[in-house]
Amino acid sequence: MDRRHLLGTLATLGSGAVAGCSSAPNAGGDGGSGDGSDGGSGGNDGGDGSDGGGGGDDSSGGEDGGEGTTTDGGDADLYVAQAVSTLNAVALRLNKLQDELDSPDDVEFDQETLLEGIADARAKLDAASEIATDTQAAQIETLRSLATVLEETTRVVGIVLSVDTDAVVEDTATAVDAGNYDAALDRVRAAKAKASDATDRVERAETALAGVDADRLAAVDGVEYAKVERAVTELSSLVTAFHALTVGSEANVLGTQDLETGRSRSEAREFEAAEAAFGDARAHFETADVALAGVAGDAGESLTESVEVAACRTAHLLQAATAFRDGAADAADGNVSEAKTHRDEGETQLQQAEDCGSN
């Protein structure tokens, strides 16, 4: 997986999520830069509540039904502005990743600081909700949903940065070549677990996105909902492809192990046992084929090549397993000539599988 391209897609969410929110009250320049604190507690943008009452405990609603206010001036609009400013700092830090992606292994990503910033924004929204008018309350719910989108996106960035897919592929192939299938499976399953986590988090982001109202975002500071929606959609496609690759890789390791078992049984002239093992291999390769076919043409720029190479290899491995299975059945029946023809076809398919991606 090309993490540079995948992170570029994630950063799109940062650039579009709360664009323009720096015009909110007390959203000073430091709060939107993403430098230093990485958008944590809001820094000089008032996100720590030092300029307007932290919790709203002494609040009282405005008698005229307008903006709710606290006795020290920390009104609901101010709390909302502080929350928006802090979310802006988080989003801009995500966007800043685009300047660091030439060397993704060297990216410094302080996930916990960003998550603390989002938690701080939620605290401000909670304080605002205690004194909010109906209109403000609706805006607060939209911002809470946006905070969830940003949180899940932040966590997915962390997952992506923790997976070096090239290393996973190389280590898995090395282990398979050495006949160490347990090590190969451990490596690919660790990546699969992370891909599953990323998938779950994208689903939560999609659910939260349904609670983001475009007009309410525009009312707080001209946020472009379309950019948020597009980024989450692209992220969903990429993570789905990432997960499919790990599912396919796991199935292919299992299938390759069964192929080896089948060939050993054939050499021992245990043809019925060989036929069963080749049949098991074929079933695993079919699983991989289905998983990869499900994302073909929709993997995004960063994963298209990886999906195509994996799909090519899987198709040839599936044909090889079928040929070897049929050859073992022929051998069991004493059809020597047919058995040889099928074995030769199987070997040809294995070579073609190795050649995938070499051009």
pLDDT digits (tens, 9 = 90+) for 298-333: 776 767 888 888 999 999 999 999 999 999 999 999
Q: What pLDDT score was predicted for residue 147?
A: 94
In order, the DSSP letters of 125-164 are HHHHHTT--HHHHHHHHHHHHHHHHHHHHHHHHHHHHH--
Name the residue among 295, 294, 235, 242 with its Cα closest to residue 2: 242
The overall average pLDDT reported for the chain is 80
* Cβ neighbours around 305 below 10 Å, total: 13
What's the rounded Cα separation, in Å, for the pair 357 and 359? 6
Q: What pLDDT score was predicted for residue 203?
A: 96
The structure's pTM equals: 0.78
Q: 252-275 burial by CB neighbour count: b if 16+ within 10 A, else e? A: bbbbbbbbebbbebbeeebbebbb
Q: What pLDDT score was predicted for residue 7?
A: 57
Q: Phi/psi at 160 (nearest 5 deg)?
A: -60, -45
* Cβ neighbours around 57 below 10 Å, total: 9
Q: Phi/psi at 70 (nearest 5 deg)?
A: -105, 165
Confidence label for 6 from pLDDT (cuts 50, 70 and 90):
low
What's the rounded Cα separation, in Å, for the pair 193 and 218? 38
Higher pLDDT, 244 or 5: 244
In order, the DSSP letters of 169-196 are HHHHHHHHHTT-HHHHHHHHHHHHHHHH
Amino acid type, 212: V
Q: What pLDDT score was predicted for residue 109?
A: 81
- pLDDT, one tens digit per residue, over 30-49 is 333 334 444 444 433 433 43
Query: Side-chain half-sphere of 185: how many Cα atoms within 13 Å?
Result: 10
Name the residue among 153, 247, 252, 257 with its Cα closest to residue 193: 247
Amino acid type, 20: G
What's the rounded Cα separation, in Å, for the pair 129 and 315? 56
Q: Parse the chain into domains and list their residue ranges.
A: 3-164+199-223, 246-355
Q: Which residue has the tokens 């720096």?
A: 22
Q: What pLDDT score was predicted for residue 87?
A: 84
Tokens linked to 269: 């002239």
Cα torsion at 175, 176, 178, 184 (round to 10°)?
30
What's the rounded Cα separation, in Å, for the pair 160 and 31? 26
Q: What is the DSSP letter of 69?
A: E
Q: Phi/psi at 59 (nearest 5 deg)?
A: -80, 160
